[in-house]
Chains A and B, each alone.
Chain A
Amino acid sequence: MTGAAEAHEHGAFEHHGPPPIHYSSRVSPAVLGMFLFIASEIMLFGSFFTVYFFDRVVNDPFNGQWPPPPYERPVYVALINTLILVTSSATMHWADTSIKKGNRAGLQAGLALTFCLGLTFLLTQVIEYHRLDFNTSDTSFAATFFGLTGLHGAHVFVGLTILLVMTIRAFRGHFSPEHHHGIEIGGIYWHFVDVMWIVVYVTVYLL
């Protein structure tokens, strides 16, 4: 008989039925969930960045020129898009602080603005894709460029879906200064999307 079984037989644990849920005081389920999410995202983006940097290294014969000629990156359009996304983070934060203060109009305006700015970002990116003079199958540079920016675009799309639900709920009277967990979580995701874009923009467009 094992020690644990003996312990039960001797009645060390009075609990009957299923074992009680064990929450560690070191890592709460919410923290663990967030860390697992971040870890999975880092691995996902990390694999794309690995391919991108590998491509840059093997393309070194172009005398350090990047992107390899004749390609040009739409740096300035992407800069405007970056400003749009950073602004959307600010409006998201405005929405969150508004509901904490009980300002429903601020919440609604903040979420609606964030959604519009996010949609503008995504549409601008789609239009830019159409304008580019290269496509995914042209070279490895083109493939990694579309891969990284497209992966981020997919995250923006998910973020927009979450924002849409949040906005609809806000206009239907949901959320209050005491109960606004949905705004907090959606806001964290949106800021994460913003942070990832800054990394992508600096890496792919500037450096």
Chain B
Amino acid sequence: MKNPFRSEADAFRFVWLTIGFFALIVIGSLIDRWIGLAVFAVLAAVALWWLFRREEQEPPVKQTPAASPPDEHRILVVANETVGGPELLREIRERSEGKNARVLVVCPALNSPLRHWVSDEDQARANAQGRLDESLGSMRAAGLDADGEIGDGDPIQAIEDAVRTFRPDELVISTHPAGRSHWLERGVVDKARERFELPVTHVVVDLDTAVRDDTDRS
């Protein structure tokens, strides 16, 4: 998000834009009050369109995590409903082989928009905690050094939080298959690749098959 008033010069420019904006409205109103209203509506729509378009065109801020300890290989796993999937477990096991790997599993506490806005997160966190505990049990039983935590309801924010504290070497995102995954619909994997200077692996967890999409594994 860009602050429109980052400097005095920006604010001064805004003064002139405001003068132009209202001058046109006043001129329209002098002709006819409905013309003035129409000018206001059109200018307001143009201003909003310009604001949103500018924000869309701005590249996201790239975040580079701090280096992890040299003797460790840290894997950050972000998953929610698919957190206990066998495909994900297999992927993590493969990626940990032959390394002193440490795994942090983050389960975003997914919530409905209404509950999010009224800060009613208890049930969402409890559900995420249940899935996380089950998954951690499976991973530890498989001999993996795994920890876990509940993350923000926004998966990108949850990743960002974990990247800052855990300092991972790579990121694994687990989702449902396309067509059933809200995260894929919202472009979470692509956004993560744009935002974080990390190798990102996308694991698709289905009932029968797991498909690995590791095009960005480098």
Q: Which residues of A contact B (CB under 8 A)?
A: 2-4, 6-7, 10, 12-13, 15, 20, 22, 24-28, 30-31, 34-35, 38, 86, 89-90, 92-93, 96-97, 183-184, 187-188, 191-192, 194-195, 198-199, 202, 206-207
Given contacts A26-B1, A202-B22, A206-B26, contact A93 B9 (CB under 8 A): yes
**Residues of chain A with a CB closer than 8 A to B12's CB:** 89-90, 92-93, 96, 187, 191
Contact status B15-A194, CB under 8 Å: yes
Q: Which residue on chain A has the smallest CB distance to residue B26?
A: A206
Among B87-95, B157-165, B176-184, B208-216, the one that faces the other chain is B157-165
**Residues of chain A with a CB closer than 8 A to B86's CB:** none
Once the chains are docked, how many angstroms separate the CA of A25 from the CA of B3?
13
Grouping DSSP codes into helix (H, G, I), strand (E, B) and loop, the A interface class, with mixed when no group exceeds half, is helix
**Residues of chain A with a CB closer than 8 A to B1's CB:** 26-27, 31
**Residues of chain B with a CB closer than 8 A to A25's CB:** 61, 63, 160
Contact status A96-B133, CB under 8 Å: no
Q: Which residue on chain B has the smallest CB distance to residue A202?
A: B22
**Residues of chain B with a CB closer than 8 A to A6's CB:** 136, 147-148
Once the chains are docked, how many angstroms separate the CA of A184 from the CA of B7?
6
Q: How large is the interface on B (under 10, 10 to 19, 20 to 34, 35 or more residues)?
A: 35 or more
13 A-B pairs with C-beta separation under 8 A:
A2-B129, A3-B147, A4-B150, A12-B104, A12-B165, A22-B161, A24-B157, A24-B160, A25-B63, A92-B8, A184-B7, A188-B5, A207-B36
Q: Which residues of B contact A (CB under 8 A)?
A: 1, 3, 5, 7-12, 14-15, 18-19, 22, 25-26, 29, 36, 61, 63, 102, 104-105, 107, 129, 132-133, 136, 145, 147-150, 157, 160-161, 164-166
Once the chains are docked, how many angstroms separate the CA of A191 from the CA of B13?
9
**Residues of chain A with a CB closer than 8 A to B25's CB:** 202, 207
**Residues of chain A with a CB closer than 8 A to B26's CB:** 202, 206-207
